[in-house]
Amino acid sequence: MTVSLIAKTTVAKKGSVQQRWLLADASDLVLGRLASDIAVILMGKHKAIYTPHVDTGDFVIVINAAKIRVTGKKLDQEVQDYYTHYPGGRKEVSWRKLHQKHPEKLLHLAVRRMLPKNKLAAKMLKKLKICPGPKHEHQAQQPVAIDLSEGLAAGLQKLAASVS
């Protein structure tokens, strides 16, 4: 009888991963730091069973997106450009105008650019629900509040302590 000292690697399979619903409050949080924490949660990199080719991430509901902070002069200097698919249809919108008119779009763009550039990213992005105010329409999923004000690691520790 031979004893194997090599640990078995578990690989997540589609449909076998339990996905939770998390509720994050974006009040007075910096855009980039919040977006990177949300991207890690959507990809599932905070879980031990993370597998790159399987969607292992959780659902994230972000409330108070209108109260998000942007550091420095980025609101005035940065622009978001898009194309209308007409000749000469390139448009530019400053971050300040975008933040005033559609505050959730600024966070959505930041998170999208931090996800992998493949087909799986579209599925991950569908799990992100952003609300400009304090109300959201996903109470039926019973989301668990996560505090990302001190970073993702501290928020996950607090979440684990409150669950157990």
pTM of the model: 0.90
Confidence at 1, pLDDT banded by 50, 70, 90:
low
Helix pair angle (31-43, 103-112), 10° resolution: 60
Q: Which CATH superfamily is domain 21-69+103-163 in?
A: Ribosomal protein L13 (3.90.1180.10)
- The string of pLDDT tens digits covering residues 77-92 is 999 999 999 999 999 9
Decide the pairing of beta strands 144-146 and 21-25: parallel
> DSSP secondary-structure letter at 139?
G
- The string of pLDDT tens digits covering residues 36-62 is 999 999 999 999 889 999 999 999 999
Which candidate, 52, 35, 36, places its Cα nearest to that of 44? 52
Domain edges within the chain: 21-69+103-163
